[in-house]
Structure 1
Amino acid sequence: MIVVMKVGSPEAEIEYVSKEFQSWGLSPEKIVGKHKVVLGLVGETAGLDPLQLQEISPWIEDVLRVEQPFKRASLQYRQGEYSEVAVATPNGVVMVGKHHPITVVAGPCSVENEAMIVETAKRVKAAGAHFLRGGAYKPRTSPYAFQGHGESALELLAAAREASGLGIITEVMDTADLDKIAEVADVIQIGARNMQNFSLLKKVGAQDKPVLLKRGMAATIDDWLMAAEYVLAAGNPNVILCERGIRTFDQKYTRNTLDLSVLPVLRNLTHLPIMIDPSHGTGKSDYVPSMAIASIAAGTDSLMIEVHPNPAKAMSDGPQSLTPERFDRLMQELSVMGKTVGRWTEMAVAV
């Protein structure tokens, strides 16, 4: 349930209304919009009469029920205002959201060695990327596949961050590793296989680094948004949703089915920023550029592109990785579409 305060409501009146709801056993969450303040009521509200709540103060404009099961993630919860995520990086604050230029995340699937990750970071930064991606801990389908170098790879990511000035996005797989990952990462990634690891979602929700939540391989949109709700409910409002392809009946020609229809669907359901990962979505480097361009046309806020200096020798996901040279060309191609839709700037980082 949300309480919409009238434009110009005095702060003292908002505080009074909040305390009144607290006395009813509810937890009001204050959401400051461009024009109005909204109070989200958390607690048992099923038996409450909206008209009765509206009588608490003449400054209350409306009381509405949030019909979706995902409350905080709902667009209705923020009265139709899209949220933005501010990420602090060595080069300044990068804004991710519907009303900001498209942000680009690039880098290898796994951190293999220092020379490789530092070289890649410098190359993707020069091409215009805002964040470096790289797995220190890697969930793999096979127990015999390369699982990442673990904690030692975090030191290499830190070195790449210092050398390039890029923000770092890397995945957490276990709650025991969260603190040391948070020391290096600017955005903490929850991978597709952990999308419904609820204890992990609660843990990342209780810390203040932004969270990138990848869609599970067989997750419905409601499943995905309810997973985001776990992070939001734990206190972290900075969640970015990432579509990375889902399993369908025909995976002969692509690794997954990249569901670009989620872009208009999510715009109607949630205020959270959206990222598209065409690398995992297709599994083939030849298909990544066209799907990246299509993602911008469809309205994405961000892109995640896998880049490796030598894909043929990559320790994981080489077939879907672009070379640095191909990534350079792709960024030029993306700029054409990005400028066409008014979502591209060469100076997207605010220092």
Structure 2
Amino acid sequence: MNILNGKPIVVNVNGLKIGRGNPPVIIAGPCAVESRDQIIEIAKILKQIGVDMIRGGAFKPRTNPYTFQGLGVKALEFLKEASELTNLPVVTEVMDIKDIDVVYEYADVMQVGSRNMYNYSLLKELGKRDKPILLKRGMSSTVKEWALAAEYIAIGGNSQIILCERGIRTYNDFTRNTLDLAAVPFMQKLTGLPVIVDPSHATGVRELIKPMAKAAIACNADGVMIEVHPNVEKALSDKEQSLTPAQFEEIVLEIERIS
């Protein structure tokens, strides 16, 4: 018998409630933490714009082994400092079982990336922790596989799970992935969990992020997660899909209008 059986679950992140009946949550920040100055600068800007949580990668799973892999624990320390200065909860990815304890120490929400959705050993260990988990959909996974990955976490005792639709790989060749918005209401009903959308990874195209973020809110997603960088032309990763603060602020205003 599945623990996640469709009964609505509201996730609590330091008093911020995510799920049915609550306003959509807005998570934003750079793909990767590149320096102390970078993450503190963008955190202060995002705080003024009105985001709910800040994101930033400390450990980066990159297809190309020669690209920027993240600053590791040093990045976690920078994220923590930015969080303390702005009072914004931190969302960051954990890639390996051996890193769970250190990420747990610094993060408010531990993210499982698309490549690790099938890492059942990692999911089981995260199920033993008492902090919310953001579970991204695997780039080639069905909704059933995605739901069962969440079940692996819930079995361990942790049902504080936020699902994130981030696009899947299809025959489409004009965007990075194909954003499956139909999965949002379907997974909300199937699991009872809140579902947010990542239009940055779903499209990989800066100009498409705004319309897809609006569409996500229109289909009743519980929030969005968007990549924002203080200097997009110098971003060390995902430059093509990173927004400037001004571009991002336009989206926030649209989300407020739609929701």
The answer to whether TM tops 0.5 is yes
Shift of 1:264: 2.3
CA contact (8 A) 2:184 2:221 kept: yes
Unaligned runs of 5+ in 2: none
1:256 lines up with 2:177 in the alignment:
yes
- Counterpart for residue 302 of structure 1: 223
In the aligned structure 1, how far is the partner of 2:61 from the partner of 2:167? 16
The one-letter code of the counterpart of 1:332 is L
CA contact (8 A) 2:90 2:107 kept: yes
Deviations 1:225-271 (A, max 9, x none): 000000000110101100001000122x1100011011222233120
The one-letter code of the counterpart of 1:138 is K
What is the aligned counterpart of 1:283 among 168, 190, 204? 204
In the aligned structure 1, how far is the partner of 2:57 from the partner of 2:127? 20
The one-letter code of the counterpart of 2:55 is R
Structure of greater Rg: 1
1:203 lines up with 2:134 in the alignment:
no
- Counterpart for residue 241 of structure 2: 320
Provide the secondary structure at the position in 1 that maps to 2:184. Answer: helix
In the aligned structure 1, how far is the partner of 2:124 from the partner of 2:16? 25
Q: TM-score, normalised by structure 1?
A: 0.73
In the aligned structure 2, how far is the partner of 1:151 from the partner of 1:239? 24
Shift of 1:335: 1.0
Deviations 1:305-331 (A, max 9, x none): 100011111000011011011111221
Structure (1/2) with the larger strand percentage: 1
What is the aligned counterpart of 2:5 among 74, 84, 96? 74
Written as runs of structure 1 = structure 2, the 5 A alignment for 1:107-118 is 107-118=29-40
1:161 lines up with 2:58 in the alignment:
no
Written as runs of structure 1 = structure 2, the 5 A alignment for 1:74-223 is 74-75=5-6, 78=7, 82-88=8-14, 93-223=15-145
- Find runs of 4+ consecutive structure 1 residues off by over 4 angstroms: none
The one-letter code of the counterpart of 1:205 is G
Deviations 1:149-207 (A, max 9, x none): 11111111011101111000000001111111111100000000000101100111101
What is the aligned counterpart of 2:157 among 235, 251, 254? 235
CA contact (8 A) 2:185 2:221 kept: no
The one-letter code of the counterpart of 1:261 is A
In the aligned structure 2, how far is the partner of 1:130 from the partner of 1:247? 29
- Counterpart for residue 332 of structure 1: 253
Shift of 1:144: 1.0
Provide the secondary structure at the position in 2 that maps to 1:105. Answer: strand
In the aligned structure 2, how far is the partner of 1:95 from the partner of 1:268? 18
Identical amino acids, percent of aligned pairs: 49
Unaligned runs of 5+ in 1: 2-70, 339-351
Q: TM-score, normalised by structure 2?
A: 0.98
| Corresponding pairs, count | 259
Deviations 1:266-313 (A, max 9, x none): 233120110100000000111001000010000100110100011111
Provide the secondary structure at the position in 2 that maps to 1:265. Answer: helix
Provide the secondary structure at the position in 2 that maps to 1:209. Answer: coil
Query: 1 or 2 for the larger relative contact order (CA 8 Å, sep ≥6)?
Result: 2
In the aligned structure 2, how far is the partner of 1:234 from the partner of 1:121? 33
CA contact (8 A) 2:184 2:196 kept: no
